[in-house]
Structure 1
Amino acid sequence: MQQLNSLKHHLLVAMPSLDGDWFAGSVIYLCEHDQHGAMGLVLNRVMPVTFHDVCEQLEIDRKPGIQPAVQCGGPVSPETGFILHREPGNWSSTLSIGQYCHLTSSKDILRAIAAGEGPESFHLALGYAGWDAEQLDSELRSNAWLTVEADEQLLFHTPTQQLHEQALKRLGISAEFLSQDAGHA
């Protein structure tokens, strides 16, 4: 089967057919999507783990008052941390995804955030969402996800609890009108 066009730098918005699934209600930023598979971060699922807990476990000193939310980025490798950030910075292990979107998985960015010297706009996530080759494409064909191009406003200036609603709004859709039934013309 032919791969769909890359959805790198897009948001996946879970359809109601995923209710009861791990991804129910999720909004996922796709960092990669090609013939080998896809990788993304769930941006709207806050974990009970605190930034203080993360810093303590990694033995990072934290300036008082710095307490960003920790997102559950996905069910794969929940012990691995990722920072999705707007400002490029000079961090180790950084993948530039777009003009204003970078993904870093190194400890140096956590130290900078803890010291109040990190990027201004970011998401801290533990774990990620991953799909094998053509797996996401198949889910898209079965209407499990809606897609919307990511932009700075949605990624870094929309409160976590409003992200699902705002992403749907970009598509001109209200959640109350979504159906669990998939249709094909």
Structure 2
Amino acid sequence: MSRSPDSTDDGRNLTGKILIAMPGMSDPRFRRSVVLVCAHSEDGAMGLIVNRPLPEIDFGDLMEQLGIEADDSARRIEVRFGGPVEPGRGFVLHSVPEHGEDPEGRLRIGRALAMTTTRDILEDLAHGEGPETAVLTLGYAGWGPGQLEDEMLKNGWLTGEGAEELIFGEDHDAKWPLALKAQGIDPSLLSGAAGRA
């Protein structure tokens, strides 16, 4: 699971990029969403929505449900909706040193960004240890072979670079317009209808 996104020489690999839902997105679960692509290959794609907080779910309560005892040094970790697939499964999106080996259960997404699915990272965070910057997402977004590419051709998604503020920032309402503006697009000028010339 620790394969680097740089290990593919296909220029169309979207690992580490963000997907910005276009106004014409037909799936309401992804309306105005910003998705970090964590893995992309000919077998499909997997990503985490980065602008859907779950304020009703407290990290400490979640740790208690998992039987992980948090102490006074526990980090305040935001919990988010990562996508509609396996909503009961957790993914920790976090910063990592740019160099070094990735342990079992960690998928490096970029030079200083990774996703971990193992319980030990939750135990570390519950004791004030582990990565400096982290969020916990429940569920993920998944696409079968060719599905994401098809949605992009149908004007469902725009791609861009995944800036740290888009990924870890807490102003979720601002992320979608900021992601578009970073691509040079004024969100107020977008229409939900795709046209043909």
2:138 alignment partner AA: L
State the partner residue of 1:161. Answer: 173
Contact 2:46/2:141 (<8 A) preserved? yes
More displaced 10-residue stretch of structure 1: 118-127 or 60-69 = 60-69
Give the paired residue count: 183
1:23 aligns with 2:30: yes
CA RMSD of aligned residues (A): 2.2
State the partner residue of 1:109. Answer: 121
Distance 1:4 1:138, change over 3 A: farther
Q: Name the CA distance, whole Å, in 2 between partners of 1:165 and 1:93.
A: 33
Map residues 18-57 of structure 1 onto 2, 5 A cutoff: 18=25, 21-47=28-54, 48-57=56-65
Normalised by the size of structure 2, how large is the TM-score? 0.84
Give the percent of matched residue pairs that are identical in Structure 1 and Structure 2. 42
Q: Name the CA distance, whole Å, in 1 between partners of 2:115 and 2:160.
A: 19
Q: CA deviation at 1:20?
A: 6.2
Q: 2:91 aligns with which of 63, 82, 91?
A: 82
Contact 2:134/2:168 (<8 A) preserved? yes
State the partner residue of 1:62. Answer: 70
Contact 2:77/2:134 (<8 A) preserved? no
Unaligned runs of 5+ in 2: 1-9
Q: Name the CA distance, whole Å, in 1 between partners of 2:114 and 2:43.
A: 20
Contact 2:50/2:166 (<8 A) preserved? no
Unaligned runs of 5+ in 1: none
1:123 aligns with 2:135: yes
1:75 alignment partner AA: P
Q: Name the CA distance, whole Å, in 1 between partners of 2:40 and 2:195.
A: 25
List structure 1 segments (4+ residues) > 2 angstroms apart after TM superposition: 63-67, 88-92, 151-162
Distance 1:178 1:63, change over 3 A: farther
